[in-house]
Amino acid sequence: MKNTRILVACCVVGLAAACLVDLVYLPDHPLFPDEVRFLDAAAHLRATGEFLTDGLHAREMPLTAAFFALLGPDLTLIRLVQALTIPLDAWLVAQIGRRLFGPRVGLLAGCATALYPFFVFFQGTALSETLFTAAQLAFVAALYRIDGSGRRTAFAVGLGALATYVKASLTFLPPFLVLPFARPRVAAVGFVVYLLCLAPWWIRNYELLHAFVPFSTTASMNLFIGNNPHAVTGRGDWAIDSDPAEVTRLTAISDEVARSKAYTAAAEDFIVQNPGRFIELCLIRLRAFWSPVPNAAGYASGLFAFVAASTTGPMLLFAAVGVAVTWRAWRTLIPLYALIAYFTALHTLTIASLRYRLPIEPYLILFAGAGVSQCYDWVRSARSRMVISRSG
């Protein structure tokens, strides 16, 4: 009961901080260009019932725009509703932590999630990461409750499909993460459920594009902007990391699928012809993905850098300790390992920034909670030995 009260108190503080950011700190307009794209797609969907992003049918998965369209054009309302993900994420992390590492780690990780500065800030952006992180956490929490049950497997995979409808990053990963928790026959049910959940999107895309587009056409664009002769930042900044003439040539291709294939071909040609530069760019992106401070120029110094360094830095350090001390439970931890490794690899190969690391931050916080708990036990044990030696 006491642990519950502490977690609720932290959730209230985190939610209040998020609302304060939304109502006082953030301007009444989007901060990032990608927000404009999502909001425009939502406005178009609300006005016409047609899902288009920058004139493309499958540039993004549809659920973020649908969510924003449902809430209406008021950016402040979108931000305040997204602020509710703060206590939701904290509760889900606490549940996962309690199940994996015990009540102490569950409490530590849940409270840290509620108060984590980047979650408090990013919930105020009209991007897909906030909704995606919450949906993915719900999926992972459901994974750890499967216990071989077919119904629970179907429910978990359904949540994985929901997360995929928010952001295409997961692709076909959700049904594979069921494997450590279900017998082959039950796992097969999960695969079928996932296919059935994604089928409406596939049918819609085939009718509009006359081709099988399983997720989105953004992947090819991200691959290109991260891997072309002008790529330098690793963040995928179209104003810096591309040749305007080449982008004009590619965007002039009217067929969306053909354009996507052209982006992929251009990126693959660059990688094949410049393997050394590709490796160099991968290292730049790897560093950006795991940077403890934001990479964007407006947030890489001053107060933002200080807050990041003083919170994310220690969190990453304790997470490394947590990974080391929990290795004996590696079979149970496979989903967390897989998600952290998968997102790291994905953004090392395409584009990277702290924003793209947000979906795996809850799992890093879980490991950090395990690390802090173990360090506390080590310190308490050392003090006990000192007291015994002195008394002896």
Would you say residue 297 has pLDDT above 70? no
pLDDT bracket for residue 3 (50, 70, 90):
confident
**Looking at residue 302, what is its pLDDT?**
72
- pLDDT band for 392, please (50, 70, 90 cuts): low
Which of 46-60, 100-114, 175-189, 200-214 shows the lowest per-residue confidence on average (mean pLDDT)? 175-189
C-beta separation of 69 from 62 below 8 A? no
- Within 10 angstroms of residue 363's Cβ, the number of other Cβ atoms is 23
pLDDT tens-digit map of 307-354 = 888 889 999 999 999 999 999 999 999 999 999 999 999 999 999 988
Separation of alpha carbons 326 and 352, rounded Å: 28
Which residues are within 8 A (CB) of 96 and not within 5 positions of it... i.e. 6 or more apart? 106, 109, 137, 140, 141, 144, 362, 366
Nearest to 367 by CA among 7, 97, 90, 11: 97
What is the total count of domains within the chain?
Answer: 1
Residue 298 has pLDDT above 70, yes or no: no
| Region of poorest pLDDT, from 133-142, 223-232, 302-311, 352-361 | 302-311
Domain that holds residue 23: 2-391
Among 175, 166, 214, residue whose Cα is nearest residue 63: 166
Straight-line distance from the first to the last Cα atom of the chain, in angstroms, rounded to the nearest whole number: 39
- DSSP state letters, 51-76: --BTTBSSSS-SHHHHHHHHH-S-HH
Range in 200-204, 307-311, 360-364 with the lowest mean pLDDT: 307-311
Give the global pTM: 0.94
Looking at residue 364, its pLDDT comes to 97
Pick 351 or 383 by higher pLDDT. Answer: 351
- Residue 334 confidence (pLDDT): 95
What mean pLDDT comes out for the span 125-137?
97
**Which of 34-43, 102-111, 141-150, 158-167 is predicted with the least confidence, judged by mean pLDDT?**
141-150
Is the pLDDT confidence value at 34 over 60? yes
For residues 210-224, average pLDDT: 94
Q: Please, which residues bridge with residue 53 across strands?
A: 56
